[in-house]
Chain A
Amino acid sequence: MSMTHSISTAKVGVADKAQRAGERRTGLLLLTPAFVLMNVVGFFPMVYSLYISLTDYNPTHGGIARFVGLKNYATALLDLQFWHAVGLTCFFVTLSVLSSLILAVLLSLLFNLRYPGFFLLRTIILIPMLITPIAVGIVWRVMMMPDLGVLNYILTVVGLQPQLWTSSAGSALLSIVLVDIWQWTPFMFLIVFAGISSLPKSPFEAAAIDGAGPIRVFFSITLPLLKPVIVIATLLRIVDAFRTYDTAFIMTRGGPDFATDLVSVYLQRVNFRFFDLGYGSALSWITLLIVSVIILIFTRLSGFTRIISEKEDR
């Protein structure tokens, strides 16, 4: 029950009605700054972008925007380079998010044993997610140098084959996935660990009495109880993984041979190297649509909306 409600039931009559109207006005007033910020900096440029996407605007061609209707969208549908980028991005997001989720759950189980010193180790593990992505790209590029890098040195010492990392089309995308896993597993771990720490004790005690093994306990108790937390962490990660740009930009610029040409890298090229802003805007809108559909499917399948609205009703 809201406070307004409890207060207004105490008073009765006309004064009550006037007060409620005043309340509402104060509430809207408080929302105004956020509302202005959202519309001026957020939605207005987006609407403008929709308009640009219907023109052939390119500032390097005299800068006059001619209305071309849906031509840009038609071109985009046949743009194989774009769909290649979309495919790569989906592969990248799936592999990276899934791996870091599994790693994060395993790490959480391990660190939930709470041996002395684990708090310190946990804090150290958090650090990668705080490092500026550009810095992450720089240091991994140093480490992944094929002939002089420390990673290949370590591989040789333990008796494995040195790798070409980002220098070969075959392994470049996987190298970027590895970097992404390194940087964002800590994020998933932090959230999943918080979830595991706050699980109720009684189901586990009951399972212990029934003599259930650890694997059985994990799949029939821990995992179902953790689901809301896992869904939220995964959703946030999916949203962010789709916009991955910084590490790919620093490490490969989309190469070699377009092997790491993620959507954001391709869009950057269309917009800011060729300055094909009309076409780029159309591509942006198609990207936005694809990402929205994927997020929508995920929220449906995972019951995210239910999780959030249960929290709201608390």
Chain B
Amino acid sequence: MSPNHVSVQRGSKIVFVYALALLATAFFAFPIFWMVTASLKSDHNITAYPPVWIFFTPSLQNYVKLVEELGIVKMFINSAVIVGLSTCLAMACGTLAAYALARFDIKNKQLIAFEVLSIRMLPPIVSVVPMFILARWLGVFDTYWLLTAAYALSGLPFVVWVMRVFIQDIPQSIEEAALIDGCSRLETFWRVTLPLLMPGLAATMVIVFMFAWNEFLLASMLTSNAAKTLPVIAANTLNAKSIAWGMASAAGVVMSLPVVVLVLLMQRYLVRGLTLGAVKG
């Protein structure tokens, strides 16, 4: 084989690989492109055939309608408050538990850890009925409290498992040094361990936030009006007799954007967080 031939072969391999990679990316990116452009089109343009690709006059009409007709600002605030509160609650409870499981001499540690994990396995369609009944009985149906508690619970296994791994990654000698210097266990945790855990905490928080922010089933069954979240109102845009495609797409963009931005910023620990600490990214 002449060297020329080899380089042609290599060149065609490179072209082939790039073509495949671009094709795969196009498959995953196209619906997102379509959602974003649809949110900027009129309903007439969305259902145009053949489709209008990029040459249309973009307008924020759909977003304006979301605010004026659906009052989406309120749902955005609901989502932000509920998801924010529940994430903080899950982080606080979970991190303390993770610290106990990682560093303290407690009986049946393994068993406790797996009990926490079993919550991750529980399908929400199963727990939603008793929650619905109990919530009506306690008078917390359609309030922030109910969804906050529910989301805090579903975030808990992530926090416990992921933070446990992050805590185990911190060398014990650092903590031991602080203990010898006379700090108490809790002081050591607060002053020494917690600052070192910050990147892990932030990454876990983003994942817990994402799952709660995107959740629909519990939100649709456990709210009716006052505590409605974004996914519920977005689903309602398709409930009406005439389907508002433009508004629906705009709602899709509005709810997806915060998560996409947050997660892409925290990409580094994403794998570890999503696998509950089992795979190192």
Complexed CA–CA distance, A143 and B260 (Å): 21
Q: How many inter-chain contacts with C-beta < 8 Å in the A-B complex? A: 291
Mark B227-251 against chain A: 1 for CB-CB distance below 8 A, else 0. 0001100110110000001001101
Knowing A49-B129, A243-B124, say if A249 contacts B105 (CB, 8 Å). no
Interface pick from A75-83, A200-208, A215-223, A285-293: A285-293
**A33 near B96 (CB under 8 angstroms)?**
yes
Knowing A194-B280, A236-B275, A245-B216, say if A2 contacts B105 (CB, 8 Å). yes
**B252 near A150 (CB under 8 angstroms)?**
no
**A243 near B22 (CB under 8 angstroms)?**
no
**B127 near A46 (CB under 8 angstroms)?**
yes
Chain A residues within an 8 Å CB radius of B93: 33-34, 37
**A131 near B256 (CB under 8 angstroms)?**
yes
B15 CB to closest chain A CB (Å) equals: 11
Does A18 lie at the interface of the complex (its beta carbon under 8 Å from any beta carbon of B)? Answer: no
Does B46 lie at the interface of the complex (its beta carbon under 8 Å from any beta carbon of A)? Answer: yes
Complexed CA–CA distance, A153 and B46 (Å): 13
Does B55 lie at the interface of the complex (its beta carbon under 8 Å from any beta carbon of A)? Answer: no
Across the interface, B271 reaches (CB within 8 A) one of A153, A190, A239, namely: A190
| Interface positions of B from 127 to 182, Cβ below 8 Å from A | 127-134, 149-150, 152-153, 156, 160, 172, 175-176, 179
**A34 near B96 (CB under 8 angstroms)?**
yes
Residue of A nearest to B233 (CB): A134
Does B191 lie at the interface of the complex (its beta carbon under 8 Å from any beta carbon of A)? Answer: no
Mark A132-148 against chain B: 1 for CB-CB distance below 8 A, else 0. 11111011111101011
Chain B residues within an 8 Å CB radius of A153: 49-51
Across the interface, A115 reaches (CB within 8 A) one of B17, B101, B116, namely: B17
Q: Quick one: which of A124, A140, A295 has the most chain B CB within 10 A?
A: A124
Does A126 lie at the interface of the complex (its beta carbon under 8 Å from any beta carbon of B)? Answer: yes
B277 CB to closest chain A CB (Å) equals: 9
Does A165 lie at the interface of the complex (its beta carbon under 8 Å from any beta carbon of B)? Answer: no
**A38 near B115 (CB under 8 angstroms)?**
yes
**A287 near B126 (CB under 8 angstroms)?**
yes
Interface size class of A (residues with CB under 8 A): 35 or more
**B275 near A121 (CB under 8 angstroms)?**
no
Interface size class of B (residues with CB under 8 A): 35 or more
**A287 near B175 (CB under 8 angstroms)?**
no
Chain B residues within an 8 Å CB radius of A27: 100, 104-106
**A46 near B130 (CB under 8 angstroms)?**
yes
Chain A residues within an 8 Å CB radius of B149: 37, 40-41
Does A101 lie at the interface of the complex (its beta carbon under 8 Å from any beta carbon of B)? Answer: no
**A191 near B274 (CB under 8 angstroms)?**
yes
Residue of B nearest to A134 (CB): B231
Does B192 lie at the interface of the complex (its beta carbon under 8 Å from any beta carbon of A)? Answer: no
**B49 near A127 (CB under 8 angstroms)?**
no
**B129 near A3 (CB under 8 angstroms)?**
no
**A33 near B104 (CB under 8 angstroms)?**
no
**A110 near B256 (CB under 8 angstroms)?**
no
**A26 near B92 (CB under 8 angstroms)?**
no
Residue of B nearest to A314 (CB): B168
Does B221 lie at the interface of the complex (its beta carbon under 8 Å from any beta carbon of A)? Answer: yes
| Interface positions of B from 261 to 281, Cβ below 8 Å from A | 263-264, 267, 270-271, 274-276, 278-281
Across the interface, A245 reaches (CB within 8 A) one of B112, B217, B280, namely: B217
A23 CB to closest chain B CB (Å) equals: 6
Does B32 lie at the interface of the complex (its beta carbon under 8 Å from any beta carbon of A)? Answer: yes
**A3 near B121 (CB under 8 angstroms)?**
no
Complexed CA–CA distance, A280 and B237 (Å): 28
**B156 near A38 (CB under 8 angstroms)?**
yes
**A123 near B267 (CB under 8 angstroms)?**
yes
Chain A residues within an 8 Å CB radius of B245: 142
**A182 near B31 (CB under 8 angstroms)?**
yes
Complexed CA–CA distance, A140 and B248 (Å): 12
**A239 near B120 (CB under 8 angstroms)?**
yes
Chain B residues within an 8 Å CB radius of A52: 129-130, 133
**A243 near B21 (CB under 8 angstroms)?**
no
**B34 near A142 (CB under 8 angstroms)?**
yes
| Interface positions of A from 45 to 66, Cβ below 8 Å from B | 45-46, 48-49, 52, 57
Across the interface, A124 reaches (CB within 8 A) one of B25, B120, B234, B275, namely: B25
Complexed CA–CA distance, A147 and B129 (Å): 39
**B129 near A284 (CB under 8 angstroms)?**
yes
Mark A61-99 against chain B: 1 for CB-CB distance below 8 A, else 0. 000000000000000000000000000000000000000
**A49 near B96 (CB under 8 angstroms)?**
no
Knowing A41-B150, A246-B217, A264-B217, say if A132 contacts B129 (CB, 8 Å). no
Chain A residues within an 8 Å CB radius of B152: 37, 41
Knowing A284-B129, A311-B278, say if A127 contacts B271 (CB, 8 Å). no
Chain B residues within an 8 Å CB radius of A30: 96-97, 99-100, 104
Name the 3 nearest CB pairs between A and B, nearest first: A135-B252, A27-B104, A34-B97
A-B contacts, 14 listed (Cβ < 8 Å): A5-B105, A28-B106, A52-B130, A111-B21, A121-B21, A123-B264, A126-B263, A135-B251, A138-B249, A148-B47, A190-B271, A236-B274, A239-B121, A249-B216
